[in-house]
A and B are shown apart, each in its own frame.
Chain A
Amino acid sequence: MTDSESSKKNLQLNMTRRQFLKLSAASLGALTFGKLLAGCSPATEVATEMPTTVPLPTPTLAGPKSGGVLLSAAETNPTGFDPHKVLSLASQSMCEQVYDTMFELDPDLNVVPRLCKSYDTPDDKTYIFHLEEGVQFSDGTDLTSEDVVFSIQRMYDPNVGGARAAWFSNVDTVEAVDPITVRMTTKIPYAPMINNLANSFNGIVSKMFCEANSNNLDNVMMGSGPFVLGEYVPDQTIRLDRNPLYWRQGKPYLDGISSKIIPDDQGRVAALRAKEVDVAWFIDSTIADLFKDDPEYVVYEVPVLTHASTWINCSVEPLTDVRVRQALSYAIDRKAFLDTVAFGKGVVTGPIPAPEMEWALPVSDYPQYTQNKEMAMSLLQEAGAEGATIKLKVSPQYVLDTGNAQVLQSQLRDVGINLELETVEWGNLLDAWYVSDFEMLNLLMLGQPDPDGYTWGRFHSTSLGNFAKINDPDLDALLDAQRSTLDRAARKDILDQVQRKIVEVTPMLYYYCYYVWGIFRPYVKGVTPMANSSGVYLMNEWLDK
């Protein structure tokens, strides 16, 4: 099946699903119910395979009701409003409510249409995007192909300084064919393009609005998304109001979302307890435990794409020798990391995070994931690296990173490796990472919109993000192949090989993806937690009160 055929098939299936959703919100409840039911089990047992998603809230048979304002507790301020420049999740969570994207990810992280209702790929370097008709920005102007062309060009315009410009560096031309058709060509066949356009940072902005604001969107927002910016007071509140012109019939259900910014975990717990907010999110599982048995709250357990890992610098001795790196991989018991550091609340992962169900290989496919200390010691002996001392940089910024460092130190000691921990300040750690000034370095790595980000972006010898300094021609060839294969099934086969190869040559040790917890008041319905921490389905949430 070609990419074009498969994408059309996806669209067709999705349209059916969307019509289905429009017809019956009870069905939405049932769909969600099914997803949630599948995710009920992992709480007590250590998961090494991916749970589908979250535990079961009480299903609702009543239809969605419009109205009401959702009160939420946010952790931090957004760091600007320009969808193409911002990097923080706090900004993303606002941008994805105010701006539409060409595509979006469904709860299983599959690409489905949004502004682009379908697309054709007449050849592997050309995309013809067909836009939804009748879409308006919240100021009442029409969203046309001119806006899409302007937005895509803006994403990689060096004068804008877009944070994700590299994703679009392979774009050759973008042009408007007619008001609802856009033609884009790429310099090379580039498979990640559609996933990149589905990333909720890459919103479609109004050309007219940008020009009226001198192309500076740092402090203003106006898009075609389900909500509009009502008010933002730094360190205090963010208020989003319903966009009455939103093009998806009946959406959003909420009149608005009002977020208090409460940075402290205990502050958010107190706000929930005092019933001053309807929802708050936590990484700390012990907080979720406080609410688990309380009928006044519903706890959602969501596996996330963020993965605990250790970078290995393949350009410094003795780590230049692949046998030493493999020995590290054989020496560790990844389940013990999960159990000890994250209290078993997560799932062991490989190079592509386990919640990326379309792409991630099950970890049972990797022989290196079965701890084998004899093999590790034998490899070290072959490489002449017995008793080697290796330095690991770690920052106290995240308790999981320091915990993982201690477990790693203890497990490597068993095979005779002396791991010296060097604790550095967060900024210092990032600086060291960017210039590969480390032997090994612990870092929680974030999710990427496309598997290319976990693979080519990190380990291709020409990638600027190859901080592990690995240079393996076989791996490079596989990485290039997955990038240029548009057919998803064929690409999946190559990515399987890529993942096995990455685990084999070990430029990085992967441990686990952890869970986060959303604590909701029970009357908040239609909740669709996403592994990529996106709130793109907030438009489906409603208040049953």
Chain B
Amino acid sequence: MRNYILRRLAIMLVSLVGVSIIIFVSIRLVPGDVVSLMMGQQGDMAAGQAEQMRKLFGLDRPMYIQYLDWAGDIIRGDFGVSLRSGRPILPDILLRTPITLELASLSALIALVVSIPMGVFAAVKRDSIPALLAQVGSLGGLSIPAFWLGTMVILFSSRYLHFYGGGTYISPREDLIGNLRMFALPSLTVGFSLSAALVRYTRSAMLEILGEDYVRTARAKGLWEFRVVMRHALPNAMIPIITVIGLQMGFLLGGVVVIESVFALPGMGRLVVDAINQRDYPMVQGVILLLTGIVMLTSLVVDLMYAYVDPRIRYE
């Protein structure tokens, strides 16, 4: 197991170097550099300053030198300074990391708590009306775009509950209730969308497992149906479910930018999209590198969990 983890970490390192080169080059291939975007429509005013600014940012140097400088700084733990705001990048990323992680974790938790029982129920009582309703609900969740649901949720809560709560992050260490109030609406919105997919995966995985010989054997032994489902069927259905959650976590870490914007949550998604729109090269590189690292680690954790839920899987 230890060798396996070390090997995976070594592969991760090589992958990160590859990713860093791809990010570095690709963001520079996008038309419109940071200076153009900074000047925006005021370009007629600042036209004479463009070259001066590029020189100050070091963008006039060959690309490989810029890369080597940046990579050397990263190895030393220095993510550089935002070209747009002049602020050091790492503190700005670290400021957003707990917000994104909390949103992702709470959404995943809500999705798990809702979807696994619903999916299991929909499989076990597959012809019942509640099971049908669960399926319809999950189809609705898949069909309704999260940004629309989010907008409806905030309009409803601000109009009738006089509550919005976005804009300012409240740390759980300072005020746990305030923190949970802040995350309640966005994590319910994201959790709802996420659970829709999980219900379907859980249901189909359970249906497959419930048809297996060993489940029939368990039933033939006279085991209580609840025990058959919870002890013999569900653990074996968990592998595809864990896979989906692992994949969704990658999405949740960087892909819920619309939800972050609607709820004014200052997370990583918003940071990276703003940075891309503004061509803030070091910020884009720093955030994507970090997100890539987190997603790779999540994937490693998911792989290790396979072995935990299914003892037949061994990592040598």
Contact = CB atoms under 8 A, between A and B. Distances in A.
B166 A267 contact: yes
Contact of B261 (A164, A263, A434): A263
A427 B32 contact: yes
A215 interface: no
Interface stretch (B46-54, B120-128, B206-214, B294-302): B46-54
Contact of A263 (B31, B48, B159, B264): B264
B220 interface: no
A109 B14 CA distance: 59
A177 B270 CA distance: 50
Interface in A242-291: 260-264, 266-267, 269-276
Could you say which interface size class chain B belongs to? 35 or more
Contacts, number: 186
A275 B277 CA distance: 31
A458 B43 CA distance: 10
A472 interface: no
A274 B162 contact: yes
Contacts of B248: none
A258 to B, nearest CB: 9
B164 interface: yes
B86 A425 contact: no
A535 interface: no
A233 interface: yes
Contacts of B39: 87, 163, 430, 434
Contact of A164 (B46, B92, B266): B46
B84 A80 contact: yes
Contacts of B274: 76-77
B86 A82 contact: yes
A166 B41 contact: no
A123 interface: no
A77 B40 contact: no
Nearest to A71: B167
B163 interface: yes
B92 A87 contact: no
- Identify whether the interface residues of B are mostly helix, strand, loop, or mixed: helix
B95 to A, nearest CB: 7
Given A161-B49, A433-B43, A271 B270 contact: no
A431 interface: yes
A512 to B, nearest CB: 16
Contact of A80 (B31, B86, B168): B86
A110 interface: no
Contacts of B155: 266, 269-270, 273
B192 interface: no
Contacts of A445: 41, 44
Interface in A206-237: 216, 218-219, 233-237
A81 B263 CA distance: 26
A236 B32 contact: no
B22 to A, nearest CB: 19
B243 interface: no
Contacts of A467: 43-44
B39 to A, nearest CB: 6
Contacts of A448: 45
Interface string A42-84: 0000000000000000000000000000000100111111100
Interface in A444-482: 444-446, 448, 453, 457-458, 463-465, 467
Contacts of A269: 155, 158
Contact of B85 (A78, A163, A263, A444): A78
Interface string B194-215: 0000000000000000000000
Contacts of B30: 425, 427
Contacts of B158: 269-274
B36 A427 contact: yes
B232 interface: no
Nearest to A76: B274
A453 B45 contact: yes
Interface residues of A, number: 63
B42 interface: yes
A421 interface: no
A236 B49 contact: no
B42 A446 contact: yes
B181 interface: no
A369 B18 CA distance: 58
Nearest to B163: A274
A448 B42 CA distance: 9
Given A236-B168, A260-B167, A262-B166, A434 B50 contact: yes
B216 interface: no
B157 A262 contact: no
Contact of A163 (B36, B46, B92, B279): B46
Given A79-B85, A234-B92, A271-B164, A434 B47 contact: yes
A162 interface: yes
Given A234-B95, A434-B36, A434-B50, A446 B41 contact: yes
Contacts of B159: 273
Contacts of B271: 235
Interface string A412-448: 0000000000000111111101100000000111101
Interface string B162-200: 111111110000000000000000000000000000000
A274 B47 contact: no
Interface in A139-169: 158, 161-167, 169
Contact of A428 (B31, B47, B277): B31
17 contacts: A76-B274, A80-B86, A158-B52, A166-B47, A233-B266, A260-B168, A264-B261, A270-B154, A271-B166, A274-B162, A274-B165, A276-B165, A425-B31, A426-B32, A427-B279, A467-B43, A467-B44
Given A426-B37, A431-B32, 13 more contacts: A78-B85, A80-B87, A82-B86, A163-B53, A261-B264, A267-B154, A267-B164, A273-B158, A426-B277, A427-B33, A427-B279, A431-B31, A433-B43
- Which 8 A-B residue pairings sit nearest by Cβ, starting from the closest? A427-B32, A218-B86, A260-B167, A235-B266, A465-B44, A464-B47, A270-B158, A273-B158
